[in-house]
Amino acid sequence: MKSTSLRPAAAWLLGLGLAGCAGASATTAPSRNDAAAAATSSAVNSLGAATAQALATAPAADAPLVRPEPPFQVVSEQFADLRVLRYRVPGFETLTAKQKELLYYLYEAALAGRDITYDQNYRHNLRVRRTLEALWPLNQERMSATTNTQQVEQAQKFNVYAKRVWFSNGIHHHYSTRKFVPECSKEYFAELVRAADRSTLPLLGGESVDKFIAAMTPIIFDPNLDAKRVNQEAGQDLIKTSATNFYQGVTQKEVEAYYAKKIDKKDPRPVSYGLNSRLVKDKSGKIVEQPWKVGGLYGPAITQIVYWLGKAADVAENSEQQKALQKLIQYYTTGDLKTWDEYNIAWVHDTKSRTDVVNGFIEVYGDPLGYRATYEAVVSFKDLEATKRIQAIGDQAQWFEDHSPIKPEHRKKNVVGITAKVITTVVESGDAAPSTPIGINLPNATWIRKEHGSKSVNLGNIVEAYDQASAGGMLDEFALTEEERQRARQYGSLAGKLHTDMHEVIGHASGQINPGVGTTKETLKNYASAIEEGRADLVALYYLMDPKLVEMGVVPSLEVGKAEYDNYIRNGLMTQLVRLPLGETVEEAHMRNRQMVAKWAYEKGQKDKVIEKVTKDGKTYFRVNDYQKLRTLFGQLLRETQRVTSEGDFNGAKALIETYGVKVDPVLHKEVLARYQKLNIAPYAGFIQPRLVPVEQDGKIVDVKLEYPADFAQQMLDYGRKYSFLPHAN
C-alpha cells in the first residue's frame, strides 16, 4: 500500500492530503490536507529574498570573489491543476562506489518499465503520448516564430495538454481518473499532425495521415469516449465502464465468476490472483489470462527490466539482497505468482542493505475490482538518522496491537518482522511518478505480512520537498481559530509525518482476517481499498492521542495529536473537495476513506458537539471541541472497519462507504471551491526526477554522478526517446 499525499506527502503541507498508501493495500497516489503547496510566485519571492540576503552579506570589493551556489529551486512550474517540483537526494555522495553503481542499475530498471504503466492505464495512451512527443518540437517552433496571439494561445494550450498527459501517465487524470481533453482546437491539432514528418508519427501498419487524424481526434478530444479510467459508481458494470486496459471483452460478472472458480478461500497462503495479467476473451469466447512477463505481454520492456536487475544482482550489497533480486528476475521471466510471493518473502528478510528497490506490479487501485496491479518502481537508500523515529514505532508494534480497540479475536497474537525506515528516494517510475507516494508498506499479501512481516517506509526527501514548497494559504483560509493555526504551524509537520509513519507501520500491519474468509478483494470487492485505507488511518488517528507516544519520546506532547485531528477533520469534511469538479461524487479510494472517517465521526458525535460546524463571516468551518471523545469515536470506527475486514462483510463495507464516503454536499462544495480558487494554488503536485550519470574507466563504472534536471517537458521527451520499448498497441 502506499500513502499518497496520496497517488497522493507530508500531506498537511499540501493542503490536499496527498497521502495514500502503498503496500498492504497501499500506495496515486496521492491526501492530507492543510498546507497548500506554494504557487510558483512563492518560489520566486523566496528566491528574491535569498538574493537580497546574499547581497547584504557580500564580501568587500578587495576580497576574492566566491560565487555562492544558487538556491535549489523546489518549485519548477504550475499549470492546469498541477505543480511540478524537484527533490534533492542528500547523502548520495557519501555512498560507496559499489552502492552508487547498484543504484544506477536499479534506476535504469525502474525507467525501463515506464511504457507499461501508460499502456495499462489505457489502450491508446502510448499512441497519444508518442503523437505529442512527435508534435512537441514543431509546436515550439510555431510558438516562437509567430506574433499571432491566437496561434500562440493554441500552441500554449497544446503544451499544457502534453504536460498533463505526461504527468498522469496517460489521458486520464492521475487522481480522479477522469478523462481530460485539450483546450486547443481539433483543427490546430490536425495542422500540427499534417506538418509533422510522417516517420515520427505512431502510425499503425499502412495507416495514412488522414486516417490517423480521424482515429486519434475522438480519442483525444471526445470527453465522453472512455470517460473514466476507473469507475467505482455503485450499480454499474465497473469493468465495462472503466477505460483501464486490464480487461478486454469481459463483464464484471464474468470476471467475478472466473475468480470465484479459481480461488480457494480455505488456502492459508493464496497467490495474488490476476496481479500480473490482462484478462480477455479469446476468439472462441473463452476467458484467458495474458501474463505480463518476458516473452509475454509487455515482454520487450520487461526484458529490459530483467537485464538491469541482473546487473544490479551482480553488485548486490549482500547475499540476502542478491537472493531477492534474483527471485524478482525469476518472477519477471516466468510470470509465476508463487515466485512473486517467494520474492516478497526474500525482500522482507533483506533488512541489512542500505539500498533498496520496489519494482513490480504492486498496487491495485487502477483495477475497479482490485485484482490487477500497475507497474511502479521506487529506488532508494536508508536515511540512517531519520529512521530512528519511525523505527521506534515499529519496535512497539506488538504493544499497539495488544492495546487496540478492535475485538481480541481480530488482533494478531504475534506481530512479526516489521521493518520501519525513512528512505531517501533516488528515482521513481511508472505509477509512482511524477505523482509520488509519501509512505509505502509492503508486501500487500496478508499472509506474508502475518508470517514474515513487512517493510514500512517514509519517503523522507519527498516529504521534505513538499515541506519546502508549502505555503500557509490553505491553513489561513480554512482553519477557524488562531489557536488551531498556531498549533498546526508548531506541530503540523511532525503530526503529518507521524500519521504517515503509523498508518504504514502499525495500521496496515495490524489485525487479521478470520480463517476461511478470503482476501478483501474477494470479499469487500470494489470497497476493499477504501476500507483498508480507512482502517490504517484510524489506527494512526487512535494512537496519535495516546500518552504512549510521549512516553516513547516521539512527540513532545499530545498537542501533536490535536494538530492532526484538526487537520484530518478539516480535510475529510471540507478541503479535499477542491479536488472534485462541482456536482461530482467521491470515487478515489483515499478520498472516500477520509470522508468516511470524518463524516462518520461528525455524525456520531453531533449530540455531544464533539465536532462542531461553525459559520463565521459567511464561511463554513469545522472545529473539534473534544479531542478525547473524538479519539473514542475513532476507536469505535476502527473496531467496525476491522470487523468488516476480518469477517469479509461486503454489505457492512458498502454501508460505510456509500453512506459516508461518496456523497458530497453541493452547497458546501461550491463554497469550498470558491474560497480555494482565490488562493491560486494547484491541488496536485509531482516531481522531475534526478538523473544518474555513470562515470566509466576502462569500460567499468567507477562512480555515478547525480544531476537535477529543471525542465519537466525536456525530461519527458528524453524518457520517451530512451525508454520506449513497447509497440504502439499491445
- pLDDT tens figures, 30-55: 333 333 333 333 333 333 333 333 33
Q: What is the structure's pLDDT at 332?
A: 98
What percentage of the chain exceeds 90 in pLDDT?
85
Residues 527 and 652 in one domain: yes
Q: Can you give 574-606 as a three-state secondary structure string?
A: CHHHHHCCCCCCCCCHHHHHHHHHHHHHHHHCC
Euclidean distance between CA atoms 611 and 603, whole angstroms: 9
Euclidean distance between CA atoms 335 and 528, whole angstroms: 25
DSSP 37: B
pLDDT at 108 over 60: yes
Reported for 240-243, long-range contacts at CB under 8 A and 24+ positions apart, including other chains, are 242/368, 243/122, 243/172, 243/179
Q: How far is CA 638 from CA 20, 46, 596, in A?
A: 18, 43, 12
Query: Which of 129, 195, 197, 194 is closest to 163 using CA atoms?
Result: 129
Give just the sign of the alpha carbon dihedral 414, 536, 369, 22.
negative
277 in a structural domain: no
Q: What is the pLDDT of residues 546-578, one digit of tens each?
A: 999 999 999 999 999 999 999 999 999 999 999
Q: What is the structure's pLDDT at 471?
A: 57
Is the CB of residue 359 less than 8 Å from the CB of residue 305? yes
Give mean pLDDT, residues 87-108: 98
Which residues neighbour 721 within 8 Å (Cβ) at sequence distance 6 or greater?
none
Map grid coordinates 482515429 to a residue: 215
The number of CA neighbours under 13 Å toward the Cβ of 373 is 29
Residue 312, C-alpha cell as written in the block: 544490479
Element (H, E) at 666: helix 666-677
Give mean pLDDT, residues 79-95: 97
Q: What is the structure's pLDDT at 14?
A: 33
pLDDT at 27 over 50: no
160 in a structural domain: yes
Cis omega (within 30 of 0) for bond into 137: no
Cis omega (within 30 of 0) for bond into 64: no
Residues 682 and 543 in one domain: yes
Q: What is the structure's pLDDT at 163?
A: 98
Q: What is the structure's pLDDT at 473?
A: 83
pLDDT at 188 over 50: yes
Q: How many CB atoms neighbour CB 557 within 10 A?
A: 11
Euclidean distance between CA atoms 115 and 292, whole angstroms: 13
Q: What is the structure's pLDDT at 629?
A: 98
Residues 224 and 111 in one domain: yes
Residues 645 and 718 in one domain: no
pLDDT at 144 over 80: yes
Residues 565 and 658 in one domain: yes
Residues 159 and 125 in one domain: yes
Residues 509 and 609 in one domain: yes
pLDDT at 9 over 90: no
Q: What is the pLDDT of residues 578-611, one digit of tens each?
A: 999 999 999 999 999 999 999 999 999 999 999 9
Q: How many domains would you assign to the chain? A: 2
Residues 121 and 205 in one domain: yes
Residue-wise DSSP of 602-650: HHHTTTTTSEEEEEETTEEEEEES-HHHHHHHHHHHHHHHHHHHHHT-H
The number of CA neighbours under 13 Å toward the Cβ of 667 is 3
153 in a structural domain: yes
Output 6 or 633, whichever has higher pLDDT. Answer: 633
Q: What is the structure's pLDDT at 472?
A: 63
571 in a structural domain: yes
Q: In what order do the strands lie in the sheet with 287-291?
A: 247-248, 277-281, 287-291
Q: What is the pLDDT of residues 649-694, one digit of tens each?
A: 999 999 999 999 999 999 999 999 999 999 988 999 999 999 999 9
Q: What is the pLDDT of residues 351-385, one digit of tens each?
A: 999 999 999 999 999 999 999 999 999 999 999 99
Q: What is the structure's pLDDT at 55?
A: 32
146 in a structural domain: yes
Euclidean distance between CA atoms 287 and 285, whole angstroms: 6
Residues 658 and 696 in one domain: no
Residues 95 and 206 in one domain: yes
Is the CB of residue 126 less than 8 Å from the CB of residue 729? yes
Give mean pLDDT, residues 283-298: 97
371 in a structural domain: no
Amino acid present at 383: D
482-502 and 387-395 are packed helices; what angle lies between their axes, rounded to 10 degrees?
70
**By residue range, what is the domain housing residue 673?**
474-689
Q: What is the structure's pLDDT at 470?
A: 76
pLDDT at 62 over 60: no
Give mean pLDDT, residues 198-207: 96
60 in a structural domain: no
Residue 253, C-alpha cell as written in the block: 460478472
Q: What is the structure's pLDDT at 369?
A: 96
Residues 643 and 684 in one domain: yes
532 in a structural domain: yes
Residues 626 and 479 in one domain: yes
What percentage of the chain exceeds 70 in pLDDT?
91
Please state, rounded to an integer, the average pLDDT across all residues of the chain.
91
